[in-house]
Chain A
Amino acid sequence: MSYTPRERVLAAMNLQKPDRVPLMCQFSIGSMMQQLKPSPAEFWYDGDVFASGLVELCKRFKFDGILVSLHGHSPGWRDNIVSFNKLEEGKQEIVFTDRSEFHSWTDLPMVKYFNKPVHKGIDEIDVENDVPGVIDYIPVSQDLYFKIDKDHPFDIFLKLKEMVGSEYSIHGEITSPFDYLLDLLGYEQALISLILNPEKCKEILQKFTNGITVLAKEMCKYPIDAVKISSPFAGMGFISPEHYSEFVLPYESQFIKEIRNCGKHVYIHTCGHIDDRLELMQQSGASGLECLDPEPVGNVDLEDAFKRIGSKMFIKGNIDSINSLLYADDAKAERDILKIIETGKRGGGFILSTACSIAPMVSSERLDMLPELIKKAGRY
């Protein structure tokens, strides 16, 4: 029986085995830029340009699904620009009234605020006024935000649906309340606050969770098959399993339940070392896990992960984008990927993917290996 790309991904997320292992990596913004060489600022801000890029890359590398890592593009993004300067090829500087942004083909935009607001301390935070009730931004990276246009929060999913119909599995992305907390207080201050003022942290987390739940439920009304939860700070590199149980799990579980009630799949993306908390992550009720970085970036053994959680969760991973794709020679890359395909096939629901996003400088030739190796070894 032959599957469409979308059916293949859906089967894996339903813990079934389709015709072959599905392939669906998440591109970093830098990786998309490197492959497409677009106008970098337009690629970041313009929903049409971004959607076209996602579809182009999905088709070019024969992926079975599209992850939409940014949503809420504003058609009026140019309105507040003070100046737009084209620098050398692939580099642009945009100046807004409050900040300058450097966009390039290399990686995420770099933002410099003219008067960077100082983070309030945990005791100074007024939950009512300082924590937004409506989530209208994505904390993409340190000092980098993507504003969600309240009038166009999910237009991109409609654009994609128009472009690819039901051929590919489309996934949305939301960010964990834990990330919003870290962003609100500053990373170090937030992590200390987990210890010094845990109750206030929980109040803040709950308010963020309420807003994120609304956002997630709205997103589920659009033509997507799954929601990815971006939760990069919830691993062993930052917090203990006890803190995970206290400050991450109870909050992510709330909107995971709502997403599942909407009939959509949901999977958690936590980078790095997570071997000590796979079962805790399963308790969230999520239908899948993403990343599961192997050594040395993380510490997850794929076979062991399937044994521990594979009967209840699908796994999307776990190619080391740095050591198996970016810096490996062809022989090592092929060896590593084939091993993951073989292990994944023996497991339950499995989607072949890079653990974390595809690193920007991974070559197109290396990405072409992925569908080739699936063709060679990925049939069930």
Chain B
Amino acid sequence: MEDFIGRISISIQKGKVDINSPYPPDMKGQPGAFELTGEALENGVSANDILTKAMIPAMGIVGDLFKDKKLFVPQVLMCAKAMNSAMSHLKPYFSSGEICKRGTFVIGTVSGDLHDIGKNLVSMMIEGSGWTVVDLGVDVKTEKFLEAIGDNPGCILGMSALLTTTMESMEKSVRTLREVYPSQKIIVGGAPLNNEFAHRIGADLFAPNPQIAVEFINSL
């Protein structure tokens, strides 16, 4: 079992999606996260072990390396692809209840803002740490955030803004959400934000990078 766990983990960390993927060059022709996960299940490794001992820790390592600027966006995107390819084998186990997600994370870019790359990176990393992600997309109005929280009781909410002007939309949304759901956990992120702003508008956390968001929600 250890062998499969280690190899799946390495495949995800290195962004090796499947046997046909040319990346990384030093693993060309070798099985990737997709094949190894299928093989591991066939050999009796439990889905839960694959998820909790290989996939989630691997994405944690990826997140740390990205935080430290030792990995960059293209590599992280490949790691996420590898993770998703492995995850495709686990879907039946989630459906049957044999393994469970940690919870639900709802995320969106705030009203007036169409930027999505930061939001998408956070979504990938959080999904990779074992959460169900509900992505509301970009230019999300407060009403849509409210509706999503209502539809997903107990969820954690993430909000993204790339523009200083849409930080205002974020503030309005957070304040309204707080009135309706006072104890809702809210994470905010985006290049122009900082801790002070997050605190002032009533968010629980400013995540300057995806891994900080992952660490926060896993600590709740």
Contacts and interface: CB of A to CB of B under 8 A. Distances in A.
* Chains A and B form a bound pair: yes
Interface of A: 30, 106-107, 110, 141-143, 187-188, 191-192, 194-196, 236-240, 243, 272-273, 276, 296-297, 321-323, 326-327, 359-361
Nearest to B17: A196
A27 to B, nearest CB: 13
B201 to A, nearest CB: 12
A236 B114 contact: no
Contacts of B69: 236, 273, 276
Contacts of A142: 114-116
Interface residues of B, number: 30
A191 B116 contact: no
A296 B154 CA distance: 32
Interface stretch (B26-34, B74-82, B85-93): B74-82
A106 B197 contact: no
A195 B74 contact: yes
A299 to B, nearest CB: 9
A49 to B, nearest CB: 21
Nearest to A296: B194
Nearest to A102: B112
B150 interface: no
A106 B111 CA distance: 13
Contacts of A326: 164
Contact of A107 (B21, B23, B81, B112): B112
A243 B74 contact: yes
Nearest to B78: A195
Contacts of B208: 296
Contacts, number: 71
A30 B165 contact: yes
19 contacts: A110-B139, A142-B115, A187-B117, A191-B74, A191-B77, A192-B77, A195-B78, A196-B22, A238-B73, A239-B74, A243-B74, A272-B191, A273-B69, A276-B69, A322-B192, A323-B194, A326-B164, A327-B197, A361-B164
Contacts of A237: 73, 191
Contacts of B163: 107
B206 to A, nearest CB: 10
B72 interface: yes
Contact of B165 (A106, A188, A194, A196): A106
B120 interface: yes
A256 B53 CA distance: 50
Interface string B5-23: 0000000000100000111
Q: Output the residue of B73, B112, B166, B196 with the most chain A CB within 10 A.
A: B73
Q: Which 7 A-B pairs have the closest CB atoms?
A: A359-B164, A107-B165, A191-B74, A240-B72, A322-B192, A238-B73, A192-B77
A66 B139 CA distance: 32
B168 to A, nearest CB: 8
